[in-house]
Amino acid sequence: MSANLPEVLEGLPNISGWEDEVQRVTRQQQPIYPGRTPLRLEQMQSGFALALHMHQPLMIQDGDLGAAPVIGNLQYMMERQHVHDMHDAPVFAQCYSRIADFIREHADAGRHPRIMLDYSGELLFGLRQMGRGDILENLRTLVTGDRYWPCAEWLGTMWAHAVVPSTPVPDLKLHILAWQHHFAALFGWEALARVRGFSPPEMHLPNHPDVAFEYVKALKDCGYQWLLVQEHTVSEVDGGGLRERYLPRRLLARNSRGEELSIIALIKTQGSDTKLVAQMQPLAEARGLHPRELKGQTVPPVVAQIADGENGGVMMNEFPQNYNQAWPGLGTAGVVGIGGTEWLELLAQRGLTEKDFEPIVPLHQAALWQRVEGAPTPEKIAKAIEEAKKADHRFNMEGGSWTNNLSWVRGYDNVLDPMNKLSALFHEKLDGRKIDRRSHAYRNALFYNLTAQTSCYRYWGQGRWTDYAREICRRGAAILQHDF
C-alpha cells in the first residue's frame, strides 16, 4: 500500500485509482476507542452527539460558460464580497476552520469536547483550489496525535453532495469511494480507518426498495458501520412513527427480489434547524433523559443532531460561545458529549450490537410491503407502488429528507435528464472494460459525472445553477466521447 496518496493530480482531486487500498483500510472492523475514551456507560445518565455539516458546491467561473474553469463557490464569493449575500465569505471560511481551534483549546485544558464532522469532497477540493491550505492544515490537527482525534469524529459522505434517491444507482458507490480516496489523500490512511459513520447529504434517505437496498449495500461494501438518519424519513416496521429515537436502531433494506440487508441507524431528531445545534439544544434535551432498557441492560440514551456548520447568523455568531461555554461544566459522568462510533463501541463492550437494535424501515415502505403477497418480484413491487399511490396521495418513492416538502425530482427534468444521460454514457463507455482508474482521462470523466449530481444545482432553483449543471454534463459527455 502506498504510504501517502497524492491529493491533487493534474488539477483534479484524487478520487479514484486506489480502490483496493481504500477498501482494505475501510474494511478494518476492529474497535478504535478502547483505551482512548474515558467514558463508561455505567457512569453516564445520557449523552448528546453533535455534528457539523460543511459544504460548498463547485460552479463555473464567470465568462464563457463553455470554457470558463470550474471553481468552488466559496472562491466565487470571496472574489465578489461587494455583491449582496457574498459579504460573509470570510466568515464562512473561518467557520470551516475554527472547530479545530475549539477542540484543541478544550482538550488542552483537560476537558472532553466532542464533535462529528461532515465535509463534502467538493468543499475540501475547493479550499485547496483557492489556496486555503491553512484551513486544511488546521483540520489536520484533529486527525493526528492521540490527544485530539478522539474528540472529533469524521463522518463519510457523498463526494459531490448528491442526494441519494435522485442519484443514478451505479454512481452511489463511486461517490462514496471518491470521498474516501480524497479524505485519505488529505489526512492519511490511519485517519480514514477511523471513519465508521456516514452522513447523507440533505439527510436524504431513499425509500424505493431497490435504491434503498443498493445504498445500504454500497455503504457496507465501503466499510461503513452506521448511518445518520432523520427521524421523519423512517418509520417503525408497522408504518408508525418512531417509538424510540434515542437508542440505536437497525435500518432494514429489502429489494424487489427479496434480498435483505441492514445497517445501524442513529436517529437525528426533529427537522432542519441550525438553532438546535447553535444553541446546544441537544445538551438541554439530554439533561432531561435517563438510562433506559435495551435487551435487558440499562444503557444511557443519546440525542443526536446535525446542522450546517457555517450557515446563518446562529451558526456564525451563537454556536461558538454556546459550544465553548458548555464543556467546562461537563465531564465523563452524568450528561456527556459523545461521538456516534464511540457510543456504539461502548455498547458493543456490553455485547449489544446491530442484531440487538430494534428495526426500522424507510418512509412509506410499510404501506408498500403490505400490498405484496408471497415472494417479491420487480413486477409485484411496481404494481404495489401504483396501488399505494392511488390509495394515498402522500405516498411517493422519492425518498425523504430533512424537509419532506421539497422534491429533488419534480420540476428539474432539464437537469436530471442530462445528468442521467451522462451517467448512462459513463457506464456504457467504461463498465466491463479494463480501464486505468489512475489515468487523467478516467478521473476527469468521473469528476464531471459526480459533480453533475450536486444537489445545489436543484436546491437553489432554476437559472444560473441549472445552467452550470447542464454545462458540466456537456463537458463530461465530451470527455467520454473524445477520450474513450
The span from the CA of 194 to the CA of 153, in Å, is 8
DSSP codes, 268-333: EPSS--HHHHHTTHHHHHHTT---EEETTEEE--EEEEEEESSSHHIIIIIHHHHHHHHGGG--SS
Spatial CA neighbour of 61 closest among 46, 47, 71, 75: 71
DSSP codes, 134-203: HHHHHHHTTTSSTTTGGGEEE-B--TT---GGGS-GGGHHHHHHHHHHHHHHHH-HHHHHT--EE--GGG
> In this structure, what C-alpha cell is assigned to residue 241?
412513527
Counting residues of the chain whose pLDDT is more than 90, the rounded percentage is 83
Least confident of 52-61, 121-130, 244-253, 411-420: 411-420
The 10s digit of each residue's pLDDT in 352-390 is 999 999 999 999 999 999 999 999 999 999 998 899 889
CATH code assigned at 260: 3.20.110.20
The span from the CA of 272 to the CA of 203, in Å, is 9
Whether residue 433 is predicted with pLDDT greater than 50 in this model: the reply is yes
Tell how far CA 291 is from the center of its chain: 29
The 10s digit of each residue's pLDDT in 44-67 is 999 999 999 999 999 999 999 999
Mean pLDDT computed over every residue of the chain: 93
Tell how far CA 444 is from the center of its chain: 23
DSSP codes, 383-436: HHHHHHHHH-TT--SS-B-S-TT--SSTT-HHHHHHHHHHHHHHHHHHTTS---
Domain count, the chain: 1
CB 453 within 8 A of CB 419: yes
413 part of a folded domain? no
467 part of a folded domain? no
The span from the CA of 56 to the CA of 310, in Å, is 10
Angle at 457 between CA 455 and CA 463, to 5 degrees: 155
Residue 129 is predicted with a pLDDT of 97
Spatial CA neighbour of 252 closest among 402, 103, 368, 139: 368
Residue-range definition of the domain harbouring residue 288: 8-361
> In this structure, what C-alpha cell is assigned to residue 90?
470570510
Averaged pLDDT, 76-104: 94
Averaged pLDDT, 389-415: 62
Whether residue 403 is predicted with pLDDT greater than 70 in this model: the reply is no
385 part of a folded domain? no
Whether residue 412 is predicted with pLDDT greater than 70 in this model: the reply is no
474 part of a folded domain? no
Residue 459 is predicted with a pLDDT of 64
The span from the CA of 354 to the CA of 269, in Å, is 20
| Confidence grade of residue 442 (pLDDT, cut at 50, 70, 90) | very high
396 part of a folded domain? no
Measured CA to CA in angstroms, residue 17 lies from 25, 27, 219 at distances of 15, 17, 19
Measured CA to CA in angstroms, residue 322 lies from 268, 277, 411 at distances of 20, 9, 40
Residue 400 is predicted with a pLDDT of 56
> In this structure, what C-alpha cell is assigned to residue 11?
488539477
479 part of a folded domain? no
72 part of a folded domain? yes
Residue 174 is predicted with a pLDDT of 97
The span from the CA of 352 to the CA of 355, in Å, is 8
The span from the CA of 468 to the CA of 193, in Å, is 35
451 part of a folded domain? no
Averaged pLDDT, 180-207: 96
Residue 86 is predicted with a pLDDT of 86
Tell how far CA 295 is from the center of its chain: 29
